[in-house]
A and B are shown apart, each in its own frame.
Chain A
Amino acid sequence: MARQITSAKPKNLKKTLASFKKYIGLHKISFVLIALLVIMSTSISLWGTYSIKTVVNEYVLKNDFHGLIQFIIFMAIIYFIGATSTAIYKQLMVHTAQSIVQEMRNDLFSKMQKLPITYFDQHPHGEIMSRFTNDLDTVQDALNNCFDTLIQSFIMITGTLFLIFVLSWQLSLIVFASMIVMYFLIQYLTKKSKIYFKKQQASMGILNGFIEEMIDGSKVVKVFNHEVENSKEFDQKNQDLFHEAVEALTFSGRTIPTVVSISYFNYALVATVGGLFAINGVMDIGSLSSYLVFVRQTAMPINQFTQQLNFILAAMAGAERIFDLMNEIEEIDEGQVTLCRVNINENGLMEETNVNTGHWAWRHPRKDGTVELVELKGDVRFHHVDFGYQENHMILKNIELFAKPGQKIAFVGSTGAGKTTIINLINRFYDINKGSITYDGIDVKLIKKDDLRHSISIVLQDTHLFSGTIRDNIRYGKLDASDKEVEEAAKLANADGFIRRLPQGYDTYLSGDGANLSQGQRQLLAIARAAIANPPVLILDEATSSIDTRTEKLIEKGMDRLMENRTVFVIAHRLSTVKDANAIMVMDHGKIIERGNHDDLLNNKGRYYELYTGKTELD
């Protein structure tokens, strides 16, 4: 069977093998056991073929009935052991392979959770996804089939070679020569067909890309009656793929007949020369006929061996990509400051407690071993902050900002001005290059990331929902929330109404990122999710951009209640939603160019005024 090999060889085999050790190490005993069982099963199979000669020569020809029975019983036992070892090692192999793949998949996933946001910015989703699919699949295939087959064909080859060498070393020279030719031919053909497969893969990529784009944009295709043109283009690309695939398969398909006919040649030559030998008395007939049986056995294991070797190399290349991801630098978190529940006694002093008091504090361990408790209030300050996604290109320059507990700070400005970037610095999706950010007076770098993020709720520009019920999705903000809390939060976000109209209400199952909901409805759910988390700091990044002005008005009360007593950062497209902010920052090219409240900014007649009166496009 010709499986297609498309992945290149691993760049650094040694390193990949070393990383693999960790997984193989856990199953060391299984692997040793499998290897032993494979050796046993293969040797028995070889021995069996050899024994047929023994049966004939030793017992049948000598008319030794008793000996024959004994030997056949002996053979049956050995054979039974052989087949049973096959059964055991096959089961063991599947079990071990599946364990390893499961472990790798789990590790890969939890590694993904630990990577910094920048990693996801720099790597397309498809690429990370293919670590889980294509790469892990090739590893699984190799583990499932290659290890045992490789050992098996190796023993077959060496065993057969050994036996024929014993039978007749002269004839074996011919066999060796043809095996070497075979090996190099197979290597050459595989290498060449890889070039063809690469081309095939490229046309496949083009065709699949086209399919993806057109299915994604199918509404536009319909609206513009573009089906016929699309079909034409599709046919062309489909034909290209057909052409490349036929080329690739025709070429790679030659490997097997080539190997087979070389083995025939070899066979013919050995038979002819052997026959001549026999005439001249160099060799007896019995040896010649069993010799020829063995020669016929050599071709397939060689083909199998090289094939498996190639699969293993492909799997190693896949494994290398997997380990590359596993070796990526994780999100750095050296923060020591954690969140804890506190009780505030009548003197205004705080003490740590396990009881839910509704009060939280930062637990700040000092160098001298004492612990300082700082009340969690939501005071956020930026001091001379510079930030750039790349070291040499600063996006934000010298940002200076104070948000006192309970204040509402708004950011406006065109796309790319740096509004979302600022917000991403507060919860440390990115780390700043210069300056500092403090939270309740503590540098955010000192705070443990998880605890920092627990204290901040964020409603992102794009709402992402998870497969699960509506209830599950809202509860994402607080995993132990009761049903009542979920509904309260939904009511606050004015989502309760539409949820109740859904076929199963709160238990309606959402799939495919909530594809069956409108953008506006998704945003309402995201707001509910933020509300249920109940944090001191709230970040709203274009949270109501897809909600119409009337609905926005309806949820205004809820939003006001949500924002009450919280520090709120708001990014909004619609300036009406930021009018009542304590301070509005107008941003341009990474700088705050105007700041003040609505009235101040209007009086300034600057950029804000232009935006507000519709003289400038916001996007």
Chain B
Amino acid sequence: MPDLPTQTTSAPGKAGDRPPTAGIIAPNLAAVAEALSEPAERSPLSATIDRIAPTRDERLFLVLSIFIGVISGLLVVAFRIAIEWIRLLTLGSAPHPGQLRLLFVPGIAGLVVASLVIWFFPAARGSGVNQTKAALYVYDGYISFRTVIGKFLTSAIALGSGHSLGPEDPSLQIGAGVASIIARNLRLSRRRLRMFAPIGAAAGLAAAFNAPISAILFVIEEVIGSWSAAVLGSLVLAAISSVVVVRGFMGTEPIFRIPSITVRDPRELLAYAVLGLFGGLLAPVFSATLGFLRPRLRALPRWTLFAQPAIAGLMVGAIGYFGFPQVMGVGYDVIDQALHGQFVWQLLIALTFLKLLATTVSFSSGTPGGMFAPTLFIGAMLGGAVGAFEQHFFPHLTGTVGAYSLVGMGVLFAGFLRVPLTSVFMVLEISGNYSIIIPVILANTIAFLISRSLQPVGIFETFTHQDGLDLPSMEAMREESVLHIEDAVQPIGVPIVRDSDTIQSVSEIMARDHATASLVHLSDGSWYALSSEELASATATLTPEAPVQRALKSDRTPSLFPDLPLDSALHSFPRWPVLPVLNRASRGTLEGVLTLNDVLRCYRGGD
């Protein structure tokens, strides 16, 4: 096993199992995503490998992605079975209200989980998404073996014993951990190592959801933050491999049995829009509740950390004992029932708010587990309630309650987790029904916009801040406005000459205009920015009648267009005093020119 990566940030493991103490500030995410093509500091071993086998990393990267996918898939299957076994052993095969074990089992399990987390697996606490992001941006892709074991064990106990959390987030982290372990053992470069965590995360999430596209999109939307050809291939390979494994065990059916859904009348979109509205209002309530309770519980004395999951378990158990065992555990079967319209709207509303409460206390108490399944659960119940309510008062609506539940899942996913693209594809992927796309897009967009306006900070970012990390906000990144060349381009203020003009005439023009540079238009249509120094040097060695073409060096100014990012011009300035900005439709036509000062002024906002 290779040594831990040595760098400025604290290494986990030894390091990663304790709360991180260092973070990064506004990293250049595109640069991280493109790290594979960027030269970086290399260890002597890496340098040697680079020399004797320069394409090794790249090829291993793809091969290992398949291994990561397969192993992640296997572990996620084992994880899900472990949860089910524990559920059977602790809560019995048919939990019903009034069974005393419903009251006590989650509490006792909370105590066990808290002990395991505090004494043995401190990194198992918290959001797997954020820990994977931390691995990517802070710890060079390092996730310890102990964290993987801890996450598997503690999450399985917590979820199996009825805590109101989901298995997807732990699956994501298990996948990321597997990837990290494998990559470290193959002595890949640090750049590659860093990118393995999100690849494993995609594999883990794809296996958990049995939905590869959604998993890939989620990792891109929430972990990596940008599309990168360098990792996309590996993400796809890993996600597909893991899903193939899961389907080999669990079958090709989607995670939920989806009833047939059609939208017959476009006016029904109004009903779905109302669902989007409710989802957009509920999502910030959920976020705010978590954002309020979690830091306060964490701020309590250390000894209470043992008791918090137990008390949370007791509360969840009480909800189950006194009539609503549906809120206990993962709740896929309950979502399935809601999708098939098996609940009346009053029960759906009750389950919406009770699940929200149970999940808030479970997660805030530090019990390992994720937010995906509870989000889907609450969304499905909310959707079903709104759908049933609307159908009660507007019986002409033809959409089934199941259709509203399905759209509701996407609505809360978009509003609460703030991943609008993933939310749409997730619904499509788990339903296998394209006809639902318009209601989904409409409702998800409404929910996303309302939620974002009411609660500007997304839930993952909130958790990041509460954990003392400063990880990049993908949502903020998507909102970032990128400056383009057109924002800095200036009217042509330098002389324009032809390459056939004599050196003398060009010198006279430049002297007349007091110009420090001129743009030479070459006969082949290209341009050359000639500085006064270059001209002076040419004057000394060439005759005045010689064409200026003879004074030019072999390179040419780059072709810049107004729509290109402004930073694409930056690297040209040490070489060129001024850059011509061309028209894409007519390359011979100049739109303007750009100097280093123009670019800097634009970045400073002085334009």
The judgment on whether A and B are partners is: no
A contact residues vs B (CB 8 Å cutoff): none
B contact residues vs A (CB 8 Å cutoff): none
